[in-house]
Amino acid sequence: MGKNLFNKVWDLHKVASLSETRDQLFIGLHLVHEVTSPQAFQALRERGLPVKYPQRTVSTVDHIVPTQNQLIRPYRDDLAEQMLQAIEQNTSDFGLRFYGLDSDSQGIVHIIGPENGFTQPGITIACGDSHTSTHGAFGALAFGIGTSQVRDVLATQTLAFERLQVKKIDVAGSCPDGIFAKDIILRIIADLGVMGGLGYAYEFAGPVIHGLSMEERMTVCNMSIEGGARAGYVNPDQTTFDYLEGRPFSPKGEKFTEAVAHWQAMASDPDADYDDVYQLDATSMSPMVTWGITPGQGIGVDQNMPRLSEVDETEVEITQKAYEHMGFDEGQKIEGQKIDVAFIGSCTNGRISDFRAAAEVVKGRKVASHVKALAVPGSRKVKLQAEEEGLDRIFTEAGFEWREAGCSMCLAMNPDKLVGRQLSASSSNRNFIGRQGSSTGRTMLMSPAMVAAAAVEGAVADVRNLI
């Protein structure tokens, strides 16, 4: 029996066994941002420890930065200013690579890693952020970690970790027009539930997955965590190698050829063993929309919200809570629900292809007068590229605000927030209560093209009627 990528990469990075079930795992790349790192740097200072391998750390600012007037300091929010100063000081004191506000490479940590070529197949990656799973798109093992573990990686470049099982998610068929990577992952989470991935890494496979671009694969892997899986990955293939060639930190020349051979060898063997397999056919899929308060509460845009009598017994309590918060009625149609806010951006869907797809819907149309619409590029490079292509003008002419790079309204640690009970159509990853900055605010997750459709229609709409 062959080996899957997860176990190959794990074995390559294993330093020692710490107990029967726990290994010491070397971390090839550590990504650091301002929110989950200050306490870790403080712990190193208290112990008088340096960062073990500074060249393996990449840091930036994304969560707290405003997306307007980003360069005007000090920030009006004292707490945000304090956090920003802390990461500037910490990365300077410990000699780390830092893409701060003065860098053209600043942006959401899960967007700048890949676009600069740091994220590579067959490596281990850790970051104090659960959406680190994004990097699995390249065939890396990428884990979200807590601050104590950020301290461990800074000081030792290793983690104490338990090996995960691997569930292969095989997506067959073909992807119809109007169906995007976001729809595929929302459907997988709806099918397998928000606990479907507990104890597993998801290996996304099959013709539909391998037909996706790297950016689309990142969207799928990004939301592994919403399905309960701590990591998700796609085996590297020619699409992966083509994406990586020529990136600033990708291997060059002969080294690139050698790297490709190594990357190919890290992919799961054709006869690899899996702990579980799930099969999905994408052919008959509809665009997905979440109606509730967990990412698993998603349905096709042409479907009705579930009745309490239809849901599994174990889901009754959370379904009731969802209806209570969202103010919808069971059995109601999702299409036509009037929205207040449209948000395109985040580590899930803040890449150039996301803005191209949304711009195609928005072009020549106007945002509904009652809707506040934000388009927030995930990185400065994405922003620049979009502006070169004239996408910013398509958005602003339609009535969108075109902002600067950051996490923005995905988690509202910055000035971008829902107000009161506003209902938001969002390309982000979490519809949790309070997630977008208002304790009574409401979030519906969908693809960027679906957000664009909702923005121009002023209500949840089927994007297939607009393209």
Partner 1 sequence: MSNNPAAITAVQGTAIPLPGNDVDTDRIIPARYLRSVTFEGLGAEVFKDERFNDEGSPKSHPFNEEKYAGAAILIVGRNFGCGSSREHAPQAIMRFGIKAIIGESFGEIFAGNCTSIGIPACTADEQTIDELQKLVQNNPQLNFDLDLEAQTLSSEEKSVAVDISPAAKTALLAGTWNTLDELLQNEAVIEEVHQRLPSFV
Binding residues for partner 1 restricted to 53-82, rule: CB under 8 A: 53, 55-56, 58, 63-64, 77, 79-80, 82
DSSP string computed for 306-322: PPTTTS-GGGHHHHHHH
Among 7, 8, 28, 181, binds partner 1 (CB under 8 A): 28
228 binds partner 1 (CB under 8 A): yes
- Cα separation, 429 vs 447, in Å, equals 10
Q: Pick from 70, 157, 219, 346 the residue near partner 1 by CB under 8 A.
A: 157
Cβ–Cβ under 8 Å, residues 141 and 6: yes
Of 147 and 385, which has the nearer Cβ to partner 1? 147
CB of 173 to partner 1, least distance (A): 30
What minimum distance in Å lies between the beta carbon of 24 and partner 1? 6
Question: Under the criterion CB under 8 A, does residue 388 sit at the interface with partner 1?
Answer: no
Closer residue to partner 1, CB minimum distance, 39 or 69? 39
Is the CB of 427 or the CB of 428 nearer to partner 1?
Answer: 428
Task: Please state the closest distance from residue 290 (CB atom) to partner 1, in A.
Answer: 13
> How many beta carbons lie within 10 A of that of residue 344, not counting itself?
32
d(CA 287, CA 391): 23
Q: Minimal distance in Å, beta carbon 151 to partner 1? A: 6
H helical segments located in 175-237: 181-192, 207-210, 214-222
CA pair distance 260, 265, nearest whole angstrom: 9
Distance from the first to the final alpha carbon of the chain: 46
Contact call for residues 203 and 278 (beta carbons, < 8 A): no
Is 277 a binding residue for partner 1 by CB under 8 A? The answer is no
Q: Is 37 helix (H, G, I), strand (E, B) or coil?
A: coil
Single residue of 5, 31, 32, 35 touching partner 1 by CB under 8 A: 35
* Paired tokens of 353: 């292809």
* Residue 44 token pair: 């190193």
| CB-nearer residue toward partner 1: 91 or 353 | 91
Out of 11, 93, 162, 302, the residue judged to bind partner 1 by CB under 8 A: 162
Contacts with partner 1 by CB under 8 A: the residue count is 82
Residue type, 272: A
Among 111, 137, 145, 301, binds partner 1 (CB under 8 A): 145
Residue type, position 200, single letter: Y
Structure token digits, residue 79: 């707490």
Closest approach of partner 1 to the CB of residue 81, in Å: 10
The correct pick among 11, 273, 302, 317 for binding partner 1 (CB under 8 A) is 317
Q: If residue 233 lies in a helix (H) or strand (E), which one and from where to where?
A: strand 231-233
As a whole number of angstroms, the distance between CA 317 and CA 294 comes to 12
3-state secondary structure of 162: strand
User: Running DSSP on this structure, what letter comes out for residue 51?
Assistant: P
Give the DSSP H/E element, type plus range, for residue 452.
Answer: helix 448-457
CB of 42 to partner 1, least distance (A): 7
Considering only 38, 107, 139, 458, the residue that binds partner 1 (CB under 8 A) is: 38
Binders of partner 1 among 390-429, rule CB under 8 A?
411-413
Site for partner 1, residues 426 to 445, rule: CB under 8 A: 430, 432-435, 437, 439-440
- Which residues ranging from 193 to 222 are in contact with partner 1 (CB under 8 A)? 194-195, 198-199
Find the binding residues for partner 1 in span 102-141 (CB under 8 A): 118, 120, 123, 128-130, 132
* Calpha distance 355→381 (Å, rounded): 13
User: How near is the Cβ of 28 to partner 1 at its closest, in Å?
Assistant: 6
**Residues 335-374 contacting partner 1, CB under 8 A:** none
For 26, phi then psi, to 5°, come to -75, 140
